[in-house]
Amino acid sequence: MRIVFSGASPVTIITAKTLIKQGHEVIIIEVDKEKIDRISDELDCSFLNGDSAKPAILSQVDPKNSDILFCLTNSDQINIITSLLGRSMGFKRVITSIEDTDLVQLCRELGLEDTIIPVWAMSRHLDNMVRGLDNINLSTLLKGEARFFTFTASEDDAVGASELGLPKDAKVIFYYRDNKFHFADDDTKLRKGDEIVILTHIKNIPDFNERWYPKEVDNKKLKK
């Protein structure tokens, strides 16, 4: 695959090293020439010095013949602009990283389905580790637009699996109850506190986050 990174962040460097070892073609766009000089010796990939949020720069990496654009600069605004630009220029898939949770709704409205909020991802992963769910291992099973989504059932979710009101391209596949693994079917009766795992299309993730993790969106506003 041909993978482009916007921003030579620590996450970019670590991920790029792994992808290069796997045989993928990697290109890193970075506005800071000195940073490129510092990391070029440790990464066997191509570099482009410039602002990825400008069409003249992004066009140089041949978007239509590239598979993924990771937007990982330290600016949420640049990441969003670059994502929109990259999508319009033909990247097959665009991944957007943001730190400010106030921008989550904006990303949803703009149709940036692959939006990553690092603090949420880390918090949820640590929480799942405590509960016995391993998101990293689960994610290695997925390809294309398939995704796993996990949440803890509330009293409102204590219904039959078929009564959760999920879209047609989403299904409860298993759950944990009292730390024990159980397969699920349409007749499974869920209980409050169950750890539910849904297999779904990526397009449903924003709605699922809004339904089962609404406090994460509002926490910052409540603290102001």
CB 117 within 8 A of CB 104: yes
SS3 105: helix
CA–CA separation, 52 vs 44, rounded Å? 20
Class at the top of the CATH hierarchy for domain 2-116 = alpha beta
Q: Is the pLDDT score of 135 beyond 60?
A: no
The pLDDT value given to residue 202:
84
DSSP code at position 99? S
Q: What is the mean pLDDT of the chain?
A: 85
Provide the pLDDT confidence category of residue 206 given band limits of 50, 70 and 90.
confident
Residue extent(s) of CATH 3.40.50.720 domains in the chain: 2-116
Assigned superfamily of 120-223: Regulator of K+ conductance, C-terminal domain (3.30.70.1450)
| Strands 68-71 vs 2-6: parallel, antiparallel or unpaired | parallel
Residue extent(s) of CATH 3.30.70.1450 domains in the chain: 120-223
Question: What is the phi/psi pair of residue 98, to 5°?
Answer: -135, 150
Q: Average of pLDDT values for 70-93?
A: 95
Q: Which of 14-18, 48-52, 110-114, 132-136 has the lowest mean pLDDT?
A: 132-136
Q: What are the tokens at 186?
A: 């349409």
